[in-house]
Amino acid sequence: MSNKLSRRSFLKSLGITTLGVGFAPQVIAKLNEVKGVKPIEGSWFEFQHHSIAEGKYWNPTLADFTANQWDYKIREMAQAGIRYLVLLNTAIHDKTYYPSKLLPKHQMGCNDPLEVVLTAADKYGINFFISNGFYGEWTKPAFLMSDKSIEKLRLRAMNEIAEKYAHHKSFYGWYYPNETGISGHYDDIFINYVNTSSTEAARLTPKAKTLIAPYGTRNVIEDEKYVRQLEKLNVDFIAYQDEIGVQKTAVEESAIFFERLYSLHKKGAKSRLWADVEVFEFEGAVYKSALLPAPWERVVEQLKAVSPFVEKILIYQYTGMINRPGTYTFAGHPDSVLLYEGLKETGYLQ
């Protein structure tokens, strides 16, 4: 294959206009001739999962973690090759995960888990994106992004968090967790929410990076309007969800959707293209049952699908889904050891 052949042309040369199951392995193999498969460099991270049903196998354990256990878990992730952690939320259900003057605090196994994990990340070389949510009812994202009183609380929380924790060298950036999903294009309220958050982030922490992780990846429309929206979004990294775990996308479709995003970002977006690879499946009904670790063989195919098109791969998520065998800080389903071993054996975790 000519080195001058673009990825888009390459895919078309394989006859891929709609991606069918029959030739998915062939497609993935060809894609990885273009560019090697990337390792897992980052993961989402949480003190408690926002959905009680989904967090069945690890929420009770994490609630009792001591400072030593959090330190050990951060070290475990660093030893596995994780270089970026994305804190899903700093507050939920009207309580924070750090001592705050704005809201009461969740009762956890240590007084200030945010301080503990950032201190550990300082030691072990991990970069943290710190969430600016969820302030208000997390199940109503459009309301959270548009309501002025919630916006005021969110920005005050960012100020408080920056004052308390921005001195940590591991405080790498901010993550904006509220989402509306992409329906062809981004909603205006989402763009305004991101840009308002980034304006405050730049004022508080001028060197900090910014990250979003939208869903609706399969719905992206490849047109100039989308390119203009990317140019308008004031954010450094966009880690699109591959939506395999939530059963909106099949593994064999993922390469096509990320190839489309690669083309759009190449046209002038300010942001860098990352992937948010879902390494879970549901025990029962989607969104209404516990999350379980996905088979490692499926996860490897997910990594292969997105690798040619993205700069870095993050996963949702190490916490609860992956545990090193014999770890002192086991939290999750027993099959989380199998996922760790499979990814380590294939080289995608260290």
Contacts of 70 (CB under 8 A, 6+ apart): 110, 113, 116, 117, 120, 329
- For residue 313, the cross-strand partners are 40, 275
- Average pLDDT of the chain is 91
> Mean pLDDT, to the nearest integer, of 49-62?
96
Number of residues assigned to the chain: 350
- What phi-psi label fits residue 288: left (phi over 0), alpha (psi between -120 and 50 degrees) or beta? alpha
Amino acid 138: pLDDT:
92
Percent of the chain predicted with pLDDT > 70: 90
Q: Give me the number of domains the chain comprises.
A: 1
Instruction: Tell me if 5 is assigned to some domain.
Output: no
Q: Tell me: the pLDDT tens digits for 107-129? A: 999 999 999 999 999 999 999 99
Comparison of pLDDT for 22 and 57, the residue scoring more:
57
Instruction: Tell me if 7 is assigned to some domain.
Output: no
Q: What angle do CA 267, 271, 274 make, to 5 degrees?
A: 100
Amino acid 76: pLDDT:
98
CB 113 within 8 A of CB 97: yes
Q: Tell me: the pLDDT tens digits for 130-186? A: 999 999 999 999 999 999 999 999 999 999 999 999 999 999 999 999 988 999 999
pLDDT band at 2 (very low <50, low <70, confident <90, very high): very low
User: Which range of residues forms the domain containing residue 205?
Assistant: 40-345
Comparison of pLDDT for 35 and 334, the residue scoring more:
334
CB 99 within 8 A of CB 58: no
Q: Tell me: the pLDDT tens digits for 288-322? A: 999 999 999 999 999 999 999 999 999 999 999 99
Q: Tell me: the pLDDT tens digits for 69-116? A: 999 999 999 999 999 999 999 999 999 999 999 999 999 999 999 999
* Peptide bond between residue 229 and the one before it cis (omega within 30 degrees of 0): no
Q: Tell me: the pLDDT tens digits for 182-229? A: 999 999 999 999 999 999 999 999 999 999 999 999 999 999 999 999
Determine the Cα–Cα distance for residues 28 and 175; give it in Å rounded to an integer. 31
Helix (H, G, I), strand (E, B) or coil at 129: strand
pLDDT band at 1 (very low <50, low <70, confident <90, very high): very low
> In this structure, what DSSP letter does residue 132 have?
-
Q: What is the CA radius of gyration of the chain?
A: 20
Helical residues (DSSP H) of the chain, grouped into ranges:
7-13, 24-34, 59-63, 67-79, 113-124, 141-146, 148-165, 188-204, 224-232, 251-266, 296-306, 336-345
Helix (H, G, I), strand (E, B) or coil at 171: strand
Determine the Cα–Cα distance for residues 322 and 119; give it in Å rounded to an integer. 22
Instruction: Tell me if 62 is assigned to some domain.
Output: yes
Helix (H, G, I), strand (E, B) or coil at 58: coil
CB 251 within 8 A of CB 298: yes
Amino acid 81: pLDDT:
97
CATH number at residue 93: 3.20.20.80
Q: Is the pLDDT of residue 7 over 70?
A: no
pLDDT band at 268 (very low <50, low <70, confident <90, very high): confident
Q: Is the pLDDT of residue 30 over 50?
A: no
Q: How far is CA 320 from the centre of its chain?
A: 14
CB 87 within 8 A of CB 121: no
Q: Is the pLDDT of residue 18 over 50?
A: no
Instruction: Tell me if 11 is assigned to some domain.
Output: no
Amino acid 180: pLDDT:
81
User: Which amino acid, residue 79?
Assistant: Q
Helix (H, G, I), strand (E, B) or coil at 44: strand
Instruction: Tell me if 12 is assigned to some domain.
Output: no
> Mean pLDDT, to the nearest integer, of 236-240?
98
Q: Is the pLDDT of residue 59 over 50?
A: yes
| Residue written as token pair 């670790």 | 293
Amino acid 16: pLDDT:
39
| Residue written as token pair 């952690």 | 85
Name the pTM for this structure: 0.90
3-state helix, strand, coil in the chain (%, to 5): 40, 15, 45
